[in-house]
Structure formats: structure tokens, C-alpha cells
Structure 1
């Protein structure tokens, strides 16, 4: 019986560390969606990139607004999404790359790659966890103060640095 207790304790500690709270990232996303306090500030989130919601047009765009998904724990189905994480398209560090045949109309995670800060190209279908750091800009604050809708918290995250966590 004495041998079982340390094994159970070790297993419990392992589960606790795997399911550790990602509250800081969630709190940051909630704040970005409810006030302008993060304007021109650098934020850090832990999560994974998701394929963006966009339609193909001319193909001349040099940036893609990606989604970044944060979960409260490793075993949670509850998700929070930072939208409009603006990544340059290409094979350079901190870029996004998509490889889609010209005649393909639909896309999925398997068609997208993130190039991290070390230059490693990683397919989004692998569901890799990243530490993403970037600067928040609210589109509403670009308007004159008299024309602003103080309930519109649409933002863009730019100057993104992508690190595997």
C-alpha cells in the first residue's frame, strides 16, 4: 500500500501540471474585448493558431489575420479566441504560410503553416502550443473621439513574435 500512495501522488501532480490554468491569457483576451486598456501595449498569450476566416480574392495580400485560441486548461473544451492576429505571409520568421492548390476552394488547418521565431515551419494541424506576443491596436481609436463607438472593441494584434511553448 505504501508504494501505491507515492505513485498516486506523482500521477496527481502530473495531472495538475498538465491542466494548469491559462487564466492570464484568458483574462487578457477578456480585457481586450471589453476595454481599451491594452492600446499600444504588448500582450502575451499561450495557445494555438487556428485557420483564419477569410475569402480568397486577388491573392496579392501580404498579411493574413489569424485566430489564436486559448483554453483554460489542457482538458477544457472552453475556448477563448483572439481574432485579427496579423501575420505576414511568407517563409520568414514569425510569418504564416499557406499552401493551397489554385483550384482548391476550401481550406483546413493542414493547408497552413506558422514559421516561429527560430525559423521552424510548423503545420497548424499538429495543434502546437505557442507563446504569442504582439502589440494591440483598436480600430475604433483611429477615429476622432467624437465619432467613436465606445462599445466597439475590434482590435488587431501586430508586431507578432511566435515561440513554441
Structure 2
């Protein structure tokens, strides 16, 4: 009887680990593909992860968009991270927007200064490290150049037409 419980517990733990390890592989694969080929140009992609603050922010309050980072992990307990850069979000209080609120006396920003409003209208502070399902269209700047002037190793992209919701 005790042996059966141990076997059942071991089997359950193994199944849990396998499901965790494959939990977000698709998002990781998508980011790897975006950084190594133009296959996703003008295509809609889906990623599961969390928004992160950009490495810098705009200098005036008149900016209408902000390039955010979107972090994905292979699975929930992984320390390995993959980043989709240049996820372009409108700045404002509408759905699928970002708000950057920095008090006048504060010089440095943290995640607490960023809120996003998902497609359902829910305002979420980025400091909560909420997981989102995000979709958007990938555009490669290199493909906007004439073919003879392109650097075939430059996979810089931006993701536009972004919608997201809390997972």
C-alpha cells in the first residue's frame, strides 16, 4: 500500500515537471525565430509572458507610443528569460495601452511607475509581474530598405497592433 502511494506520488511529480517544462516553449520558439529569420514579417504572433519596462523611456509627455519589453520563460520556474523588444503600445487610458506615471520629484523609474490596460479594460501595475497573452504583428525595419541595401543579419523588429489580456 505504501509502495503504491510512493509510485503514484512519483508519477504525479514527473507529470507535473514535464508539463512545466513544456508550458511556454512556443513563445520561446517564436522569439528565437524572430531573432534569426524574417519568417514572421507582417505576421501576427502570440506570446505568453509579462511586460517589462523599456531600458529607457521618452523625454516628453507628448509621446503617443512607448516601446515596451515582453519577457517569456520556457516554464514557470525557469530563471532563463527571452525578451521581445520593441512591443509598441499606445500611451493612454484606453484598452491595450500603457501608462507611465512618474512624480515630478522622482528621477528614476521602476515597474511601479508603469500600468497597462488590457483588452478588457483592467488596469494592471507591472510591479505585480502579471502573466499576459499578447498578440501583435511583427515588422522588420531591414525589409523596408531596397533589397540591395539590406543587411541579411539584422533582425531588428517592432511589434505593432498589440492586444493583450491577463492570463
TM-score relative to the length of structure 2: 0.91
Q: How does 1:1-165 map to 2 (within 5 A)?
A: 1=2, 2-3=4-5, 5-165=7-167
- Does the Cα contact within 8 Å between 2:99 and 2:114 map onto a contact in 1? yes
For 2:100 and 2:164, the matched residues in 1 are separated by: 17
What secondary structure, in the 3-state scheme, does the structure 2 residue paired with 1:68 have? strand
Structure 1's unaligned 5+ residue stretches are: none
Structure 2's unaligned 5+ residue stretches are: none
> Aligned pair in 2 of structure 1 residues 140, 47: CA closer, same or farther (>3 Å)?
same
What displacement does 1:20 show?
A: 3.5
- Does the Cα contact within 8 Å between 1:20 and 1:74 map onto a contact in 2? no
CA RMSD of aligned residues (A): 1.6
For 2:105 and 2:144, the matched residues in 1 are separated by: 38
Count of equivalent residues: 165
What displacement does 1:112 show?
A: 0.6
> Aligned pair in 2 of structure 1 residues 150, 3: CA closer, same or farther (>3 Å)?
closer
Q: Structure 1 stretches (4+) deviating beyond 3 angstroms?
A: 2-21
TM-score relative to the length of structure 1: 0.92
